[in-house]
């Protein structure tokens, strides 16, 4: 048989969640999460705001009026986390009259929960409309080149024009970036593509021709330097050979004589002249007959 005190303990543990739920329902305590605010209103007026995460007791913060809040007031939860949005297909016209589509990304964060709840019935929708209208007014009638290439400064312009009103409505506009600018006219895309392709072909041909010219110039300069060095070497060769032969003749005249005979023989062979060999001691006339 289960002891009576054990049953009492179990019943007591089961009553704890119920008591906590009742206490929370009567507004005796509240829990605020990270990046969250709770706005308390009583009889249609703002009683106070808690934006610090953790366990809080409204009775200690707002006094006895907090006891009336479950019956005649309410508490609203406002997320203060960073939110990101992307607006697609915002239509603008360039200075040349070209219809362009723009995609813009932005982020926002609530910094004044009371203003966010009560200054505007649809703050996020208003922000979206404000960003869209500011983007259109900033980018319209700009030169197409500037619109396509200078997105960072244009993004800053959009952010500067939207931020004052967003601060008034209780949220802070974070980064704004124009992510995409594109042509909406298909035929224009085809024409521009053709122009780009032709231009690329021209640039490629010009680069190829410039490279060939540079290679030809390098080759001619190299050939000139080589021929110059070869001519210098050919001019210096007789002097070097002569000095070497003079040096040899000083030490051993027989070697010089042998070298000269070899050189003479080589010259004779190189000339292609006919040579007739006569045995040593033979009579020349007998040989000729």
Over residues 114-149, the pLDDT tens digits come to 888 888 788 888 888 888 888 888 877 777 777 777
Coil, strand or helix: which one is 35? coil
CA pair distance 188, 144, nearest whole angstrom: 13
* This prediction's pTM: 0.55
Query: Looking at residue 288, what is its pLDDT?
Result: 54
Q: Which domains does the chain have, with CATH numbers?
A: 14-78 (no CATH), 82-188 (3.30.479.30)
Instruction: Give the strand pairing for 73-79 and 54-56.
Output: unpaired
Mean pLDDT of the 70-97 span: 84
**Among 90, 94, 91, which Cα is nearest to 143's?**
94
Residue with tokens 């249609």: 44
Coil, strand or helix: which one is 214? helix
Mean pLDDT of the 60-65 span: 84
What integer best gives the mean pLDDT of the chain? 83
Task: Choose between 268 and 204: higher pLDDT.
Answer: 204
Token pair listed for 220: 């001619």
Q: What's the 3-state SS for 223-286?
A: HHHHHHHHHHHHHHHHHHHHHHHHHHHHHCHHHHHHHHHHHHHHHHHHHCCCCCCCCCCCCHHH
Radius of gyration of the chain (CA): 50
Over residues 247-268, the pLDDT tens digits come to 888 888 888 788 888 888 888 8
Element (H, E) at 171: strand 171-183
């Amino acid at each position: 048989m289960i002891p009576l005190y054990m049953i009492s303990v179990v019943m007591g543990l089961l009553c704890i969640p119920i008591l906590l739920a009742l206490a929370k329902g009567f507004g005796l305590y509240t829990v605020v999460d990270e990046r969250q605010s709770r706005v308390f209103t009583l009889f249609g007026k703002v009683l106070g705001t808690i934006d610090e995460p953790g366990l809080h007791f409204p009775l200690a913060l707002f006094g006895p009026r907090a006891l009336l809040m479950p019956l005649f007031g309410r508490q609203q939860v406002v997320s203060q986390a960073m939110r990101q949005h992307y607006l697609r297909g915002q239509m603008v016209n360039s200075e040349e009259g070209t219809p362009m589509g723009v995609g813009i990304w932005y982020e926002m964060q609530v910094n004044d929960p009371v203003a966010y709840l009560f200054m505007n019935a649809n703050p996020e929708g208003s922000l979206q409309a404000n960003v869209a209208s500011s983007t259109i007014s900033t980018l319209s009638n700009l030169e197409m080149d500037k619109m396509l290439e200078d997105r960072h400064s244009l993004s800053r312009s959009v952010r500067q024009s939207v931020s004052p009103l967003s601060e008034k409505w209780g949220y802070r506009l974070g980064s704004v970036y124009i992510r995409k600018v594109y042509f909406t006219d298909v035929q224009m895309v085809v024409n521009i593509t053709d122009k780009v392709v032709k231009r690329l072909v021209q640039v490629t041909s010009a680069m190829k021709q410039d490279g060939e010219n540079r290679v030809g110039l390098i080759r001619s300069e190299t050939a000139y330097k080589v021929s110059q060095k070869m001519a210098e070497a050919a001019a210096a060769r007789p002097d070097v050979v002569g000095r070497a032969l003079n040096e040899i003749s000083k030490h051993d005249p027989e070697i010089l004589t042998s070298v000269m005979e070899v050189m003479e023989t080589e010259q004779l062979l190189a000339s292609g002249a006919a040579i007739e060999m006569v045995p040593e001691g033979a009579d020349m006339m007998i040989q000729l007959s």
